[in-house]
Amino acid sequence: MPRFSWKNPLLALTVAGALALTGCGQGAGSAPTASASDPVTGGVLTYLDAQPHTSLFPPSGGFYPNGGLVNQITDRLVYQDPATLEFQPWIATSWEVNADATRYTFTLRDDVTFSDGTKLDAAAVAKNFDLYGRGDAARALPVSEAVNNYDRSEVIDPTTVVFHFKAPAPGFLQATSTINSGLLSPATLDGDFTFYGAGNGTKVIGSGPFVVASEKIGAEVVLKARPDYHWAPKASANQGRAYLDEIRYVVTPEAGVRVGALTSGQADIARQIAAPDEAVVTASGAHLVAAQTRGVNNAFSLRFRNATLSDIRVRQALTLGTDRQEIVDTLFTDNYPLATGVLGKTALGYEDLSAKLTHDPARARALLDEAGWTPGPDGIRVKDGQPLKLVVNEAAPQPRSFDVTTLVSQQWKRDLGVDLQILRADAGTYTKAVNDADQVQVNHTMVGRADLDVIKSNYAAKNRNTLLNRNLTDNTIGDQKLEDLLAAVAGTPDPAARIQASQAVQEYLIDQSYVIPLFEEPQVFATTDAVHGFGTEPIGRPSFYNTWVQR
Partner 1 sequence: MTARALGSRVGQAVLVLALAFTLAFILLQALPGDAVLIKFENPELGLSPEEIAAIRTSYGADVPWWQAYLHTLAGFLRGDFGFSIQNGAGVAGLLAEVLPQTVTLSVLAFAAAVVLAVTVALLATWARWTWLRNALASLPSVFVSVPTFWLAMVLIQIFSFRLGLVKVIGAGPVEALILPVLTIAVPISAPLAQILVRSIEDVQRQPFVSVVRARGASRWWVLTRNVARNALLPTLTIAGVLFGELVAGAVVTETVFGRAGIGRLTEQAVANQDVAVLQAIVVLSAAAFVTVNLLIDLLGPLVDPRLTKEVGLAA
Q: Which of residues 174-213 bind partner 1 (CB under 8 A)?
A: 193-200
Q: In the complex with partner 1, which residue's Cβ is closer, 37 or 429?
A: 429
| By the rule CB under 8 A, 9 interacts with partner 1 | no
| By the rule CB under 8 A, 251 interacts with partner 1 | yes
Rg (CA), the chain: 24
How far apart (Å, rounded) are the C-alpha atoms in residues 259 and 263? Answer: 6
Smallest distance from partner 1 to CB 49, Å: 10
Smallest distance from partner 1 to CB 393, Å: 10
How far apart (Å, rounded) are the C-alpha atoms in residues 404 and 251? Answer: 26
Question: Which run of H or E residues covers position 477?
Answer: none
Side chain identity at residue 381, one-letter code = R
Report which of 367, 369, 385 is spatially closest to residue 377, judged by C-alpha positions. 385
| By the rule CB under 8 A, 63 interacts with partner 1 | yes
Residues 6 or more apart whose Cβ sits within 8 Å of residue 100: 168, 493
Smallest distance from partner 1 to CB 386, Å: 25
Q: In the complex with partner 1, which residue's Cβ is closer, 433 or 504?
A: 433
Mapped to the 3 state alphabet, what secondary structure does 212-260 carry?
EEEEECCCEEEEEECCCCCCCCCCCCCCCCCCCCEEEEEECCCHHHHHH
Segment contacting partner 1 (CB under 8 A): 50-58, 170-178, 179-187, 496-504? 50-58
Q: In the complex with partner 1, which residue's Cβ is closer, 267 or 368?
A: 267
| By the rule CB under 8 A, 439 interacts with partner 1 | no
Q: In the complex with partner 1, which residue's Cβ is closer, 344 or 417?
A: 344
Segment contacting partner 1 (CB under 8 A): 12-20, 28-36, 291-299, 411-419? 12-20
Segment contacting partner 1 (CB under 8 A): 9-17, 161-169, 319-327, 351-359? 9-17
| By the rule CB under 8 A, 264 interacts with partner 1 | yes
Residues 6 or more apart whose Cβ sits within 8 Å of residue 357: 319, 324, 339, 340, 341, 510, 517
| By the rule CB under 8 A, 169 interacts with partner 1 | no
Q: In the complex with partner 1, which residue's Cβ is closer, 245 or 326?
A: 245
Q: Which of residues 371-430 bind partner 1 (CB under 8 A)?
A: 426-429
- Of 32, 42, 158, 218, the residue at the interface with partner 1 (CB under 8 A) is 218
How far apart (Å, rounded) are the C-alpha atoms in residues 441 and 436? Answer: 8
Residues 128-147 as x/- pattern, contact with partner 1 by CB under 8 A: -------x-xxxx-xx-x--
The dihedral of CA 293, 295, 297, 303: what is its sign? Answer: negative
Smallest distance from partner 1 to CB 15, Å: 7
Residues 6 or more apart whose Cβ sits within 8 Å of residue 484: none
Q: Which of residues 442-461 bind partner 1 (CB under 8 A)?
A: 445, 447, 457
How far apart (Å, rounded) are the C-alpha atoms in residues 197 and 256? Answer: 28
How far apart (Å, rounded) are the C-alpha atoms in residues 234 and 75? Answer: 13
Residues 29-48 as x/- pattern, contact with partner 1 by CB under 8 A: -----------------x-x
Residues 6 or more apart whose Cβ sits within 8 Å of residue 132: 58, 59, 143, 144, 146, 147, 150, 180, 181
Smallest distance from partner 1 to CB 215, Å: 10
How far apart (Å, rounded) are the C-alpha atoms in residues 175 and 133? Answer: 10
Smallest distance from partner 1 to CB 487, Å: 15
- Of 12, 219, 362, 497, the residue at the interface with partner 1 (CB under 8 A) is 219
Q: In the complex with partner 1, which residue's Cβ is closer, 70 or 367?
A: 70
| By the rule CB under 8 A, 26 interacts with partner 1 | yes
